C-alpha cells in the first residue's frame, strides 16, 4: 500500500470520482490550470478538461449557487472554497438554499454536492487564512459535515461525500495537507459518512477530536502512555449527523471525556459533544466533561508567538488529558 | 412576428385566470380566511408573454414570488395555489412548509426558491452550465424584481452566464418598487437592462404591460440562448398595482394619484382592448371566459377549504435524501 500525504489522498479521491462518473465536475477559484492554490486539483484540468474542472469567477456565492443549479440538473459538483475563511459570501447559498432544498421542496429536489474547503491555523495565515468554521454548519439540518484526519479517511470519506445525495461540507485540515502521511490503498474503497473511528483504545479518559486536532491528540496519547495514562481517542470524522453511539460507548467505558477542537471555545462544536455526553451518559461520568479549544478571540493572529498562543498542540492536549485523568 | 389568434386568446385567458385568482386571494385575506398573500397584479402580461416564449414543461424556470401568472401558465392549477395560501396538504411546491407564492413545481421543471432575493438567479446559471455541458437544447428562464438586482448574487449569476455564454434569460420584472423603495434609490441607471452592458451581454427593456412586445423580446432571447449565442437580460417595465403584500400599506409611501395613473396602463384591460379591437375575440366570448374562470376559482377555493392540513410528520421531514430525486 503506497504511503501518501493527506492532500494527495484528496486529489486521488477526486480523480477516481471524475473517472467513475461523467456528471462529477469541479468548480472553484484557481482549480483549473493552476491545480488549486494548495494543488489539490493538480493535473485534473489537464486530464478532464475545462468543461469538468472549471475556473470560476472570484465570487464564492456563485461557486456554491452555480453548483446548486448544476446539481439540480443532474451534475455532481465538487465546489472548492479556496480557504474556509472566504466561505461567508456563500453562507446564504449553503444555509438557505443547499441545506433546505430537499425539505422545502418536500423531497422533490435534491442537491448532491460537496463543498471542499481547507480550514484551520498554524500556517501563518492570520485572521483570514486560519479559521475553523465547522460549528456554523453543524447547526444546520440538511447539511452533512465531514472532517478527515488521515489520508485513508480523506480519500474514503470524500468519495462517499461525492456519491451522497445531500450537500456535504468537507473541511480539510490545511496544516495537515503535507504533514499528515499514511497508507492509502490503490483500490476502490469508501469510508461511510456518519461513523466515528476509535483510533486508539484506552481505559482512563475518552478524547474526542477531529481533523488536525485528532492528529495532535494521537501524539499526546502516545506520550501519555509512557506516563501510564491510557487515553482512548475517537476520531469523530463526521460531525453532523454525529455518531452518538460511538461517543456514548466510549464514555461509558472510561468515565471521563475531553473534547478537543481548534475553533473558539464558546459555542464551538465541542459544546454539542459535551452536552450530548451530559444528557445521555451522566451516570457513567467520574469527572466533569472538559473542553479544550481555542481562546475566545475573533481569529488566529499572524505573528508567530501570538499564533502559537492561539493554537493547540500535542503538549497542551497532553496536559489537559493528564489533568482530567487525575481528577 | 406572427402570433396566431388562438395563441393570443390562450395567453389572455391565463392573464385573466391569474388576475381573478390573485384578487380572490386578497378577498380571502380580508375575510380572515388566509394569513398572507403577495400579489402579481399588474405584471400578468410580462409573465404570460414570457411563459409562452419558452417550451413550457421542457425548458427550466427559476421564478420569484410575484409569478402567479407565470406559474399558472406553466401548469400550476388554481386549486394548487389555493392549497398553498391556506397551508393545506397537497400544496405542490413544498408540502405547505413554505409561505404562499414560494414556487416550485417539479413536474414543470420549475425550481423551488426561497425568500432571500436573487438566490434563484445563481441556480439558473448553474442549470444553464449543466445544460450546456450535457449538450441539451434547453433554456433557463429566471425572473426577479428590479430591487433585487441590487444583490451581488444577481450580478454574479449574470456574470457567469455571460462568461460561459449560458442559455439563460434573466427577466427583471420592474414594477417600480421594492416594498417601499422606488427604483431611483436602487440604481443610478435609468433601466435595469442597462446593467447588462457592464457584464458583456445584451440588455433589452420592453413594455411589460404589452403582451406582444414581451413575447417578441423573450422569443428573440430564447432563440439566442437555444442557438448557443448566450444569455440576455430583459427588463419588463410594469407597475405594482397592489401593496407589496397583504401586510403592507402602500399609502405610507406613494400617493393614490400615482397608483390611479398607472391603472391606465393595467395590462388586463389593455390586452382585452387589443383582442376586441382586432376582432380576435368577441365580447360574448370574453363574458363566457370570465364565467368559466370564476367557476374554476370558486371550485378551487371550495376544494382547498375542504382539504386537510398536513400531518405533523410533514414537519419532521424528509431532511436528508436517500437518493437523488431529480434529474
Q: Does B327 touch chain A (CB under 8 A)?
A: yes
Say yes or no for a CB contact (<8 Å) between B95 and A101.
no
Please say which residue of A183, A209, A239 terminates a domain. A183
- Residues A43 and A152 reside in one and the same domain: yes
CB < 8 Å from A in window 49-78 of B: 60, 62
Nearest Cβ partner for A74 among B130, B319, B323? B130
- Residues A89 and A203 reside in one and the same domain: no
Planar angle of CA B322, B94, B82, nearest 5 degrees? 155
Please say which residue of A128, A161, A183 terminates a domain. A183
DSSP B165: T
Structural domain boundaries enclosing A233: 197-325
- Per-residue cell: B259: 397608483
**A93 CA to chain B: closest CA distance, Å?**
7
Q: What pLDDT is attached to residue B327?
A: 62
Query: CATH code at A207?
Result: 3.40.50.920
Question: DSSP string covering A155-202, please?
Answer: HHHHHHHHH-SS-EEEEEEGGGTTT-EEE--SS-----TT--EEEE--
Say yes or no for a CB contact (<8 Å) between B123 and A97.
yes
Q: Does B95 touch chain A (CB under 8 A)?
A: yes
A191 domain residue, yes or no: no
A97 domain residue, yes or no: yes
Number of domains present in the structure of chain A: 2
- Residues A212 and A170 reside in one and the same domain: no
Gap between the Cα atoms of B246 and B36, Å rounded = 6
- Residues A55 and A116 reside in one and the same domain: yes
Q: What pLDDT is attached to residue B325?
A: 81
Gap between the Cα atoms of B189 and B11, Å rounded = 32
Gap between the Cα atoms of A199 and B288, Å rounded = 76
- Per-residue cell: A27: 468548480
A22 domain residue, yes or no: yes
Query: CATH code at A64?
Result: 3.40.50.970
Those residues with Cβ within 8 angstroms of residue B302's Cβ, 6 or more apart along the chain or in another chain? none
Please say which residue of A183, A217, A251 terminates a domain. A183
Gap between the Cα atoms of B167 and B221, Å rounded = 9
- Per-residue cell: B104: 416550485
Q: Does A71 touch chain B (CB under 8 A)?
A: yes
The C-alpha torsion from B3 through B4 and B9 to B14, rounded to 10°, is: -50
Say yes or no for a CB contact (<8 Å) between B314 and A142.
no
The list of chain A residues with pLDDT below 70 reads: none
Among candidate residues B10, B75, B35, B29, the one with its CA nearest the CA of residue B242:
B29
Q: Position of cell 465546489?
A: A79
Contact A139, B128 (CB under 8 A): no
- Residues A148 and A203 reside in one and the same domain: no
Q: Does B97 touch chain A (CB under 8 A)?
A: yes
Q: Does B123 touch chain A (CB under 8 A)?
A: yes
Q: What pLDDT is attached to residue B277?
A: 98
Say yes or no for a CB contact (<8 Å) between B106 and A61.
no
User: If you count residue pairs, one on A and one on B, with CB atoms under 8 Å apart, how many are there?
Assistant: 153
Chain A, nearest residue to B124 by Cα: A69
Question: DSSP string covering B178-224, please?
Answer: ETTEEGGGT-SSSSGGGGGGGGTS-EEEEETT-HHHHHHHHHHHHHH
Please name the helix (run of DSSP H) or strand (run of DSSP E) that holds residue B45, with its range, or none. Answer: helix B44-51
A188 domain residue, yes or no: no
Instruction: Identify the active-site residue in A45, A88, A129, A304.
Output: A129
- Residues A11 and A101 reside in one and the same domain: yes
Say yes or no for a CB contact (<8 Å) between A69 and B98.
no
A189 domain residue, yes or no: no
- Residues A158 and A264 reside in one and the same domain: no
Contact A236, A206 (CB under 8 A): no
**Residue A232: strand, helix, or coil:** strand
- Residues A33 and A164 reside in one and the same domain: yes
pTM (predicted TM-score): 0.97
Q: What pLDDT is attached to residue A190?
A: 98
Say yes or no for a CB contact (<8 Å) between B116 and A96.
yes
Q: Does B104 touch chain A (CB under 8 A)?
A: yes
- Residues A144 and A242 reside in one and the same domain: no
Say yes or no for a CB contact (<8 Å) between A93 and B157.
no
- Residues A298 and A217 reside in one and the same domain: yes
- Residues A138 and A273 reside in one and the same domain: no
Peptide bond into B318 cis (omega under 30): yes
Q: Does B163 touch chain A (CB under 8 A)?
A: yes
**A288 CA to chain B: closest CA distance, Å?**
33
Round the average pLDDT of chain A to a whole number and report it.
98
A190 domain residue, yes or no: no
In chain A, residues with a C-beta closer than 8 Å to the C-beta of B317 are 103
Strand A231-235 and strand A197-200: the pairing is antiparallel
Sketch out chain B's domains with CATH numbers: 5-316 (3.40.50.970)
Q: Position of cell 432544498?
A: A101
Say yes or no for a CB contact (<8 Å) between B160 and A66.
yes
Chain A, nearest residue to B315 by Cα: A103
Q: Does B316 touch chain A (CB under 8 A)?
A: no
Helix runs in A237-284, H state only: 244-254, 269-280
- Residues A235 and A153 reside in one and the same domain: no
Contact A58, A29 (CB under 8 A): yes
Averages of pLDDT over runs of 10 residues in chain B (327 residues) are 92 98 98 97 98 98 98 98 98 97 98 98 98 98 98 98 98 97 97 97 98 98 98 98 96 97 97 98 98 98 98 95 85
Amino acid at each position: 500500500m503506497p504511503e501518501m500525504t493527506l492532500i494527495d489522498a484528496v486529489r486521488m479521491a477526486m480523480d477516481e470520482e471524475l473517472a467513475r462518473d461523467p456528471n462529477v465536475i469541479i468548480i472553484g477559484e484557481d482549480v483549473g490550470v493552476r491545480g488549486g492554490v494548495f494543488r489539490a486539483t493538480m493535473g485534473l484540468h489537464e486530464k478532464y478538461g475545462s468543461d469538468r474542472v472549471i475556473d470560476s469567477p472570484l465570487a464564492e456565492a456563485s461557486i456554491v449557487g452555480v453548483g446548486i443549479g448544476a446539481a439540480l440538473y443532474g451534475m455532481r459538483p465538487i465546489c472548492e472554497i479556496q480557504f474556509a475563511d472566504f466561505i461567508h459570501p456563500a453562507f446564504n447559498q449553503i444555509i438557505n438554499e443547499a441545506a433546505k432544498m430537499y425539505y422545502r421542496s418536500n423531497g422533490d429536489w435534491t442537491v448532491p454536492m460537496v463543498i471542499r474547503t481547507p480550514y484551520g491555523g498554524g500556517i501563518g495565515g492570520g485572521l483570514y487564512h486560519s479559521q475553523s468554521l465547522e460549528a456554523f454548519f453543524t447547526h444546520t439540518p440538511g447539511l452533512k459535515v465531514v472532517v478527515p484526519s488521515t489520508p485513508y479517511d480523506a480519500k474514503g470519506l470524500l468519495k462517499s461525500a461525492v456519491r451522497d445525495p445531500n450537500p456535504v461540507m468537507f473541511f480539510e485540515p490545511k496544516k495537515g495537507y503535507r504533514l499528515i502521511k499514511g497508507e492509502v490503498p490503490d483500490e476502490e474503497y469508501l469510508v461511510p459518512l456518519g461513523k466515528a473511528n476509535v483510533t486508539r483504545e484506552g481505559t482512563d479518559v475518552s478524547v474526542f477530536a477531529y481533523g488536525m486536532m485528532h492528529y495532535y491528540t494521537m501524539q499526546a496519547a502516545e506520550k501519555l502512555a509512557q506516563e501510564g495514562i491510557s487515553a482512548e481517542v475517537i476520531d469523530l470524522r463526521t460531525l453532523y449527523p454525529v455518531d452518538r453511539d460511538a461517543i456514548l460507548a466510549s464514555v461509558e467505558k472510561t468515565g471521563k471525556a475531553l473534547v478537543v477542537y481548534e475553533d473558539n471555545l464558546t459555542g464551538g462544536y465541542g459544546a454539542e459533544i459535551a452536552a450530548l455526553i451530559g444528557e445521555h451518559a451522566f451516570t457513567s461520568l467520574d469527572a466533569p466533561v472538559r473542553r479544550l479549544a481555542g481562546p475566545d478571540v475573533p481569529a488566529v493572529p499572524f505573528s508567530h508567538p501570538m499564533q502559537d498562543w492561539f493554537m493547540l498542540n500535542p503538549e497542551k492536549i497532553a496536559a489537559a488529558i493528564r489533568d482530567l485523568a487525575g481528577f | 412576428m406572427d402570433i396566431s389568434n388562438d395563441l393570443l386568446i390562450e395567453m389572455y385567458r391565463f392573464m385573466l385566470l391569474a388576475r381573478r385568482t390573485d384578487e380572490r386571494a386578497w378577498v380571502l385575506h380580508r375575510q380572515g380566511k388566509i394569513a398572507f398573500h403577495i400579489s402579481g397584479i399588474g405584471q400578468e402580461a410580462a409573465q404570460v408573454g414570457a411563459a409562452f416564449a419558452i417550451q413550457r414543461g421542457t425548458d427550466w424556470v427559476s421564478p420569484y414570488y410575484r409569478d402567479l401568472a407565470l406559474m399558472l401558465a406553466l401548469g400550476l392549477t388554481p386549486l394548487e395555489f389555493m392549497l398553498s395560501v391556506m397551508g393545506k396538504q397537497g400544496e405542490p411546491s413544498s408540502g405547505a412548509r413554505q409561505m404562499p407564492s414560494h414556487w416550485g413545481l417539479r413536474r414543470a421543471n420549475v425550481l423551488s426558491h426561497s425568500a432571500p432575493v436573487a438566490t434563484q438567479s445563481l441556480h439558473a446559471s448553474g442549470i444553464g452550465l449543466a445544460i450546456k455541458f450535457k449538450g441539451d437544447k434547453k433554456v433557463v428562464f429566471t425572473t426577479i424584481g428590479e430591487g433585487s438586482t441590487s444583490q451581488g448574487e444577481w450580478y454574479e449569476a449574470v456574470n457567469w452566464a455571460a462568461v460561459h455564454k449560458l442559455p439563460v434569460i434573466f427577466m427583471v420584472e420592474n414594477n417600480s418598487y421594492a416594498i417601499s423603495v422606488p427604483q431611483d434609490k436602487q440604481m443610478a441607471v435609468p433601466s435595469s437592462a442597462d446593467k447588462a452592458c457592464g457584464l458583456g451581454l445584451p440588455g433589452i427593456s420592453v413594455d411589460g404591460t404589452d403582451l406582444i412586445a414581451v413575447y417578441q423580446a423573450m422569443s428573440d432571447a430564447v432563440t439566442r440562448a437555444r442557438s448557443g449565442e448566450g444569455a440576455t437580460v430583459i427588463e419588463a417595465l410594469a407597475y405594482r398595482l397592489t401593496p407589496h403584500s397583504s401586510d403592507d400599506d402602500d399609502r405610507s409611501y406613494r400617493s393614490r394619484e400615482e397608483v390611479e395613473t398607472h391603472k391606465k396602463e393595467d395590462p388586463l384591460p389593455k390586452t382585452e382592448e387589443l383582442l376586441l379591437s382586432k376582432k380576435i375575440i368577441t365580447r360574448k366570448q370574453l363574458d363566457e371566459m370570465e364565467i368559466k374562470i370564476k367557476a374554476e376559482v370558486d371550485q378551487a377555493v371550495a376544494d382547498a377549504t375542504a382539504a386537510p392540513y398536513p400531518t405533523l410528520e410533514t414537519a419532521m421531514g424528509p431532511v436528508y435524501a436517500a437518493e437523488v430525486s431529480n434529474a
